Structure 1
């Protein structure tokens, strides 16, 4: 029997609080929980085997929406329950909180870590999200013109692009969704981006082609 790691957890007995571990495994790479084995790998077995084989998966399904694979295995001649949790493509919460398996620990995701996790699960990047409360009036015409001057001057855009409206320019750059400028649009072309994003920063790389 393996030591606890990113994908393995041992528990002497089942407790409903271990639904947090289920959430953590489902939100990460998946994993297995063994009931009837101590943290030090001492095999103690489980009581009421058949009842637990019925109760545990029902609790997992009802509280997290995860459908586990639950197996009865023998370890050192004793009954052990193996709970297999597959990684899930959608965020899995338990009682409104989101957990994540990192190494051999379970972490509750909060703040920016939770925000980034939810975006990743939804296949979104922060800069691609429409910026709440922002309209085209918040986009700086001068910044758009400056961008067009340099893009056209370097041959990256056609001269006809100067005739494009502000909305068309943002649309061509993928910086507007349903008529609302994205977070990326506000950072690049907003009149007062610091009012929206106090702690944002840019990293710019320059590539030389020889």
Structure 2
């Protein structure tokens, strides 16, 4: 057995090896072996360490990569214990601390923009905001946000006449509803409290007096349609 695009050997575990797992998940899957040298020969892991790693590694994979179908299993050869981490190919692009990795040959690299975009397209989803959300219905959306949208649309002569559209028709026209479910973009645009659904979905504005001093800070919550008005009022003052 030798290292390939689907096989990687490591003598001991380090958290940075989550990058290899991420890269394999974004490629064709593979196996990461802990306790083997570069030639694939077992160097062994102490039995007490094996037990701890069998508990720690799955937790790190779930917490860091949100992968739940990775198998972590103990093996032995020549009287020495080692671990195999079996990584299946993932249907969605996987990231670690805001970066996505890809397995190319025997190396793991950060995905460039073109590779990341291509991976999203191959998996059937082009953008983060096109994913659907659960437990949010059209009735949960903010009517005032739709009124603002209609007003702004009527000011744009090139836009479709949306004054007579109900909210469902608007969402359909904007491709913000898929399979009867709202997309993240729909929540961001029209939900009264999008940060209740998508953590961190709010805007901060600060006035910098120097590189270190912020004299005034504003934190804005609400739909993007509402915030589009509030932001310019703050910037103007």
Q: 1:92: which partner in 2? A: 94
Question: Aligned pair in 2 of structure 1 residues 122, 137: CA closer, same or farther (>3 Å)?
Answer: same
Q: 1:119 Cα deviation (Å)?
A: 2.3
Mapping of residues 1-210 of structure 1, within 5 Å: 2-47=1-46, 48-67=49-68, 68-123=70-125, 137=158, 178=173
1:20-50 CA-to-partner distances (Å, cap 9, x unmatched) read 1111111111111110001122321113110
Q: Which has the higher contact order (CA 8 A, sep 6+)?
A: 1
Gap regions ≥5 residues in structure 1: 126-134, 139-176, 181-210
Q: Secondary structure at the match of 1:82?
A: strand
Residues 141-185 of structure 1: CA distance to partner in whole angstroms, max 9, x if unpaired? Answer: xxxxxxxxxxxxxxxxxxxxxxxxxxxxxxxxxxxx8369xxxxx
Q: CA RMSD in A?
A: 2.4
Equivalent residue pairs, number: 133
**Structure 2 unaligned blocks of 5 or more:** 128-155, 160-171, 176-237
The Cα offsets for residues 57-92 of structure 1, whole Å up to 9 and x where unpaired, read as 111111101121111111222001111011110111
The alpha-carbon distance between structure 1 residues 112 and 55, as it changes in their structure 2 partners (threshold 3 A), is same
- TM-score of the two chains, using structure 2 as the length reference: 0.51
Query: 2: CA distance between counterparts of 1:179 and 1:42?
Result: 57
Q: Is this contact kept in 1: 2:117–2:126, CA < 8 A? A: no
Partners of 2:74 and 2:117 in 1: CA distance: 38
Secondary structure of the 2:44 match is coil
Q: Partners of 2:110 and 2:4 in 1: how far apart?
A: 17
In the TM superposition, residue 137 of structure 1 has moved relative to its aligned partner by 4.7
Q: Which of these two proteins has the greater Rg computed from alpha carbons?
A: 1
Query: In the superposition, relative to structure 1, how do residues 90 and 136 fare at CA in structure 2: closer, same or farther (>3 Å)?
Result: farther
Q: CA deviation at 1:105?
A: 1.4
Contact kept, 8 Å, 2:5 with 2:103, in 1: the verdict is yes
Report the TM-score when normalising by structure 1: 0.57
